[in-house]
Structure 1
């Protein structure tokens, strides 16, 4: 079972479309904060706050190279969120299969 606070941080971070867009941008490779901010219609400080949420959630990692801050996706950060969804899917798939089997035995068509 995944700890609630880990899930809360991951899903809160993923709930915002700007943060999802930042993660999608980072799929192409590491980027500086200025690179992440450039295409977005918001202040540099606003983008910095979004990146901080992603960092706190464990979805991105910061590396300081000289005076520049570089960010990269932390794929393991999504593991807990994916695991929870997989557990829910498995549970409900099993329930649906059981219901289908019960209806089949009672002579109901699917």
Structure 2
């Protein structure tokens, strides 16, 4: 499989799995662990999970090259791609929640 396809599939998996895991952790934080300290720890766990998944995705999908300039360009492009994909997903989820609240009443 080519690098671009692996990267696209990895980013697609990242933007679908990460919000689901965040919802699971937030649900656990509010229902199981009701203290403010536990919710702060849950947020740290979510952040660590996001960074870990992104690092694993970068290690698996982005090819290694001998030149640091190209490696830096790959890293910047990868981070920009994840940021744009995450922003689109967050906007879509917010829009979905707003529409559900609007039609729920």
Shorter-chain-normalised TM-score: which range?
0.3 to 0.5
Normalized per residue, the structure richer in strand is 1
Normalized per residue, the structure richer in helix is 2
TM-score (norm 1): 0.35
Higher RCO (C-alpha 8 Å, min separation 6) = 2
